[in-house]
Structure 1
Amino acid sequence: MDGMPGWIRQHVAAVRAIVVLTVLLGLVYPLVVTGVAQVLFHGRANGSMLDGGRGGALIGQRFTGADGKPVRKYFQSRPSAGGYDPLSTGGSNLGPESVLDTLPLPGARGKRSLLTQVCARSEAVGELEGVSGARPYCTSDGVGAVLKVFPDRAVSVNQPCPTAPFVASYQGLRVVCARPGEDYAAGRTVPVRGGAGVPAVPADAVTASGSGLDPHISVAYADLQAPRVARERGLSPARVRALIDEHTTGRALGFMGAPAVNVLELNLALDRP
């Protein structure tokens, strides 16, 4: 080595560093981490599989039929922006300011705002559970109650013509339906709260989690679904609510978050004789 030119010594040192780091970080470290995980967190490290591989306790899933409609004898999960696909995990990236729909044109698809998605989901859940799906800032037909206000008129921008607007007038201006393709950007955006009180449908029934894989629902959403599940299965409401209690987890570390219900574990318990 002493007789080697400097540039050769530098290359040999670089190769040695690559070999050592490859062994340490590419072999030793992964094996150690995997071993520790298997010893300390065996179930979670292997996917937390339940009931012979019917699903994992840490990843939510749909409980719908071939037609995409909810199977009425099962508790339903919260919505998922990624379809509960671990390879496309993530949220919709829509925030509170997403209140304006892009109305569909002939031969093209529109785009629903977050507000309209929430309104439509609330209507669907309300119909399924036999309660009101009404929410503030939502129309009776399940879209965002939003106006674009101009000096001479107001436009219900999420209700395409010939739909009747959710209100006939606003501050003395006549409200008209929206014409797909027309530019309303110059108007003042006004979400209208309406007369809906506290929603009967919980927030987690109409909003997706950030990961799109949340396996839990709130206790309130589980309680809302309990009468339907009990009726479809011929069980007493008390029995179904007892199962909800058995599969409800407490707050993280005793004080963070809120109690939640694991939907897959609950549905599997219902299927057992």
Structure 2
Amino acid sequence: MNTFLSSLKSSLLLTLVLAFVLCGVYPLAVWAGGQLLFRHKANGSLIVDADGTVRGSELLGQSFNGDRYFQSRPSAAGGGYDAGLSSGTNLGPTSQKLADAIKANVEAYRAKNKLSADTPVPADAVTASASGLDPHISPANASLQAARVAKARGLPVDRVRALIAAHTDRRFLGVFGEPGVNVLLLNRALDSLAYETTP
């Protein structure tokens, strides 16, 4: 009986110590480290205006309306870019519904950007990401939208292309992943241009 009680006491004590360390000390240490070393990232990479208004996160896509803005890739998350309903379409490569949606998206993309019928359209311009919240588009997608945005804002196309280049994230370590353009940051940079004109 004494052996059982001794083992029970040791087990309970070990459980309490591990709960304190793993459920208290460790999470607090990780939180403190994040706040000290990566404060912006640890707090969601939020984009905040001078007046304190949160405009979004560098990590989450948004939809933009009008020719003055670069368009994000399509989203299947809820009504579009709903972080509470993050998901892809779950349609497979043999799905007729997916094929029809892509065909309609290609036609709409070409019409919006005044492209010829034989202009290749980047895949990210007409398909949703797996999360439905991807904030990036490919440089090729951004390049095809540049003329429309420049015309709507009364800006030289070269100035808009320079902004695209400035907001293009390169491959991680020069090897991993693909270059991407953060649409939210690019559109904010366009809005902040001092010499932009209202169409």
Range into which the TM-score falls when normalised by the shorter chain: 0.7 to 0.9
The offset of 1:200, in angstroms, is 2.8
- In the TM superposition, residue 214 of structure 1 has moved relative to its aligned partner by 1.1
How far did residue 253 of structure 1 move? 1.2
Match of residue 161, structure 2, among 236, 241, 260 = 241
Question: Is the aligned partner of 1:222 residue 2:142?
Answer: yes
Q: Secondary structure at the match of 1:54?
A: strand
What are the ranges of 5 or more consecutive residues in structure 1 without an aligned counterpart? Answer: 65-70, 100-112, 135-196
Report the alpha carbon displacement of residue 73 of structure 1 after superposing the two structures with TM: 0.8
CA distance in 2, matches of 1:124, 1:218: 18
Whether 1:26 and 2:23 are equivalent positions in the alignment is: yes
| 1:40 maps to 2:28 | no
Residues 187-214 of structure 1: CA deviation (Å, up to 9, x unaligned): xxxxxxxxxx6x5321100111122221
AA in 2 matched with 1:62:
S
User: Equivalent residue of 1:84, what SS?
Assistant: coil
The answer as to whether partners of 1:131 and 1:200 remain within 8 angstroms in 2 is: no
Which residue does the alignment assign to 1:190?
none
In structure 1, the residue matched to 2:197 is none
**Structure 2 CA distance for partners of 1:86 and 1:9, relative to 1, 3 Å:** farther
CA shift for structure 1 position 72: 1.5
Cα distance, 1:118 vs structure 2: 0.9
How many residues are paired up?
187
Aligned-pair CA distance for 1:9:
4.0
Task: Indicate how the Cα distance of structure 1 residues 266 and 11 shifts in structure 2: closer, same or farther if over 3 A, else same.
Answer: same
2:174 to 230, 248, 254: 254
Which residue number in structure 2 is paired with residue 61 of structure 1?
62
**Greater helix proportion:** 2
Partner of 2:190: 270
- Secondary structure of the residue aligned to 2:15 is helix
Report if the CA contact (8 A) 1:61-1:84 is conserved.
yes
* Higher alpha-carbon Rg: 1
Partner SS for 2:181: strand
Measured in 1, the distance between the counterparts of 2:20 and 2:11 equals 14
Name 1:202's counterpart in structure 2: 122
Inter-partner Cα distance in structure 1 for 2:22 and 2:82: 30
Which residue of the partner structure matches residue 47 of structure 2?
50
Normalising by structure 2, we get a TM-score of 0.85
Identity %: 50
Kindly provide the CA deviation profile for residues 65-99 of structure 1, in whole angstroms up to 9, marking residues without a partner as x: xxxxxx22111001122122222222222221212
Q: Could you list the per-position Cα deviations for residues 95-137 of structure 1 after superposition, in whole angstroms to 9, with x for gaps in the alignment?
A: 21212xxxxxxxxxxxxx21111111111111111124x5xxx
**Structure 1 residue identity aligned to 2:62:** Q
Which amino acid counterpart does residue 152 of structure 2 have in structure 1?
E
Cα distance in structure 2, aligned partners of 1:203 and 1:117: 12
Partner Cα separation in structure 2 for residue 47 and residue 225 of structure 1: 28
Distance of 1:229 and 1:51 partners within structure 2: 24
* Inter-partner Cα distance in structure 2 for 1:90 and 1:253: 28
Separation in structure 1 between the aligned mates of residue 83 and residue 152 of structure 2, nearest angstrom:
31
Does 2:100 align with 1:85?
A: no
Question: 1:121 is matched by which residue type in structure 2?
Answer: N
Q: Residue 55 of structure 1 aligns to a residue in which SS? A: strand
Q: Give the C-alpha shift of residue 51 in structure 1.
A: 3.8
- From the two aligned structures, give the one with the greater strand fraction: 1
2:94 alignment partner AA? E
- TM-score by length of structure 1 reads 0.63
